[in-house]
């Protein structure tokens, strides 16, 4: 009898020419979509051009998304974006997006139906693991890897072991995918899943939507994981059917598939989480964070982690009819232009502006300390983004606390870290 396989092993196997794969094997896998952005693609383009290959492996399987410093923050970043544009023109790259049609890459590609269930996706960006939410194998790589894939359509991969993470029960009010994943990272640590695939399952996900799955898969890398993945189901189908322009495959793990570990969590007892500086694993319950009376200078709602329409709706529910605290900045960044437009139509932008927020064009911006909300020395932010490393959002003495969009909105109103319940 054939060895039962995990969903991750099946997808990798189906992208190779070999008959069997086991964790630890290094394989050459065919790539369905290869992604680069305005920070990572310039190096990939230079490397690609240095090896003497004239054409890319497939112009329809490459996505170039200028999103980190776009609209260009300065001359140097404009030059980098220009490199992407020129490369896209030369090779007639199908998925190239100017800023008026783009957004943060990991929100944009699923929204446009570019990445699909069963795909093998590599991206020169660590949060490429986001697409695992759709039941794809997706992992972050470097620029040189991307250059190699541009040329050959392949990537070398070590087949990862899988860790099964099971959440059961209905999450409480204000508890979202962000809280489940911050809780998980708090439990296993920033290296807890190093080199492994995190496979998420359990009835909790019947109570949550696709946006929560994207958030969870997105932050798999913050536990060191190579990928995060969900078995696709009717929620996936509902999301994907109106977007997909090509065939896709729903893979499922076999009964008896081997896991390095199985972790079980009761979602009913998890409350909103706040991850303290300077690691995502420093997560505590909101009540504990609130009791510490931590004043904030800035709140950021956006990013590939939490900049989707569902996130903005939750933030608006908290902010409606309220004003943010004096001397506090609230920066709301819809992740894509489509999200921005929906927020506008639904009246969310008015709610944000009435509350005293500034609403930015889609960009990664402050998440990685790029622009559009950089912190001065000693300043403190709460943010719906994914990393709180030292100096991540600005000066090396500034601090970032990670939380879900509802907590970020409530904290902006309070001027200190606090729960949506405190402003209800």
CB of 375 to other proteins, least distance (A): 12
Please give the DSSP secondary-structure letter assigned to residue 41: H
CB of 420 to other proteins, least distance (A): 29
Residue 262 in 3-state DSSP? strand
> Taking Cα atoms as reference points, which of 125, 67, 130, 50 lies closest to residue 101?
67
Nearer to other proteins, 250 or 389 (CB): 389
E strands in 39-160: 62-65, 95-96, 120-123, 137-140, 154-158
Residue 24 in 3-state DSSP? coil
CB of 47 to other proteins, least distance (A): 5
Distance CA 275, CA 289 (A): 9
If 0-12 CB within 10 Å is exposed, 13-18 middle and 19+ buried, where does residue 114 land? buried
> Taking Cα atoms as reference points, which of 171, 261, 146, 281 lies closest to residue 221?
281
Nearer to other proteins, 191 or 238 (CB): 191
Please give the DSSP secondary-structure letter assigned to residue 360: P
Distance CA 184, CA 195 (A): 16
CB of 184 to other proteins, least distance (A): 16
Nearer to other proteins, 51 or 424 (CB): 51
Nearer to other proteins, 76 or 353 (CB): 76
User: Which residues make up the interface to other proteins (CB under 8 A)?
Assistant: 26, 39-40, 42-43, 46-47, 50-53, 68-69, 73-74, 76-77, 80, 123-126, 128, 140-145, 147-148, 151-152, 156, 158, 190-191, 194-195, 221, 224, 226, 279, 368-370, 387, 389-392, 396
Q: How far is CA 199 from CA 136, 137, 223, 251, 281, in A?
A: 11, 11, 13, 12, 19
Residue 395: which H helix or E strand, with range? none
Nearer to other proteins, 80 or 305 (CB): 80
Nearer to other proteins, 76 or 376 (CB): 76
Nearer to other proteins, 368 or 423 (CB): 368
CB of 97 to other proteins, least distance (A): 19
If 0-12 CB within 10 Å is exposed, 13-18 middle and 19+ buried, where does residue 210 land? buried
Nearer to other proteins, 125 or 212 (CB): 125
CB of 347 to other proteins, least distance (A): 34
Nearer to other proteins, 194 or 266 (CB): 194
CB of 42 to other proteins, least distance (A): 5
* CA-based radius of gyration for the chain: 21
CB of 87 to other proteins, least distance (A): 13
CB of 174 to other proteins, least distance (A): 28
Q: How far is CA 47 from CA 69, 80, 148, in A?
A: 21, 14, 8
Distance CA 307, CA 294 (A): 24
């Amino acid at each position: 009898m054939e060895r039962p396989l995990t969903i991750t092993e099946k997808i990798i196997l189906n992208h190779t020419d070999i008959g069997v794969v086991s964790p630890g094997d290094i394989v050459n896998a065919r790539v369905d979509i290869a992604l680069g952005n305005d920070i990572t693609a310039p190096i990939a383009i230079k490397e690609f051009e240095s090896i003497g290959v004239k054409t890319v492996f497939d112009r329809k399987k490459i996505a170039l998304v200028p999103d980190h410093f776009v609209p260009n923050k300065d001359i140097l970043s404009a030059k980098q974006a220009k490199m992407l544009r020129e490369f896209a023109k030369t090779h007639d790259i199908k998925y190239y997006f100017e800023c008026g049609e783009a957004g943060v890459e990991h929100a944009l590609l699923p929204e446009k139906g570019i990445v699909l269930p069963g795909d093998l996706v590599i991206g020169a960006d660590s949060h490429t693991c986001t697409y695992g939410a759709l039941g794809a194998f997706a992992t972050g790589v470097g620029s040189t890897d991307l250059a190699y894939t541009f040329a050959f359509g392949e990537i070398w991969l070590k087949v990862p072991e899988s860790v099964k993470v099971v959440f059961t029960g209905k999450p409480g009010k204000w508890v979202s995918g962000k809280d489940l994943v911050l809780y998980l990272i708090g439990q296993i640590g920033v290296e807890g899943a190093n080199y492994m695939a995190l496979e998420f399952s359990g009835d909790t996900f019947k109570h949550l939507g696709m946006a929560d799955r994207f958030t969870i898969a997105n932050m798999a890398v913050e536990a060191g994981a190579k990928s995060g993945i969900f078995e696709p189901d009717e929620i996936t189908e509902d999301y994907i059917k109106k977007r997909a322009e090509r065939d896709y495959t729903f893979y499922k793990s076999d009964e008896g598939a081997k896991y390095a570990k199985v972790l079980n969590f009761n979602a009913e007892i998890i409350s909103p989480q706040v991850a303290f500086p300077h690691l995502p694993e420093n997560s505590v319950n909101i009540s504990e964070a609130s009791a510490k009376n931590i004043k904030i200078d800035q709140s950021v709602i956006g990013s590939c982690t939490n900049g989707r329409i569902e996130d903005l709706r939750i933030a608006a529910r908290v902010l409606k009819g309220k004003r943010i605290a004096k001397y506090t900045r609230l920066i709301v960044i819809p992740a894509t232009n489509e999200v921005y437009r929906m927020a506008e139509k639904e009246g969310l932008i008015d709610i944000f502006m009435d509350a005293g927020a500034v609403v930015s064009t889609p960009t990664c911006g402050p998440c990685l300390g790029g622009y559009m909300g950089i912190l001065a020395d000693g300043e403190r932010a709460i943010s719906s983004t994914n990393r709180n490393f030292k100096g991540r959002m600005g000066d090396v003495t500034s601090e970032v606390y990670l939380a879900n969009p509802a907590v970020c909105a409530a904290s902006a109103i309070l001027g200190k870290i606090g729960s949506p319940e405190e402003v209800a």
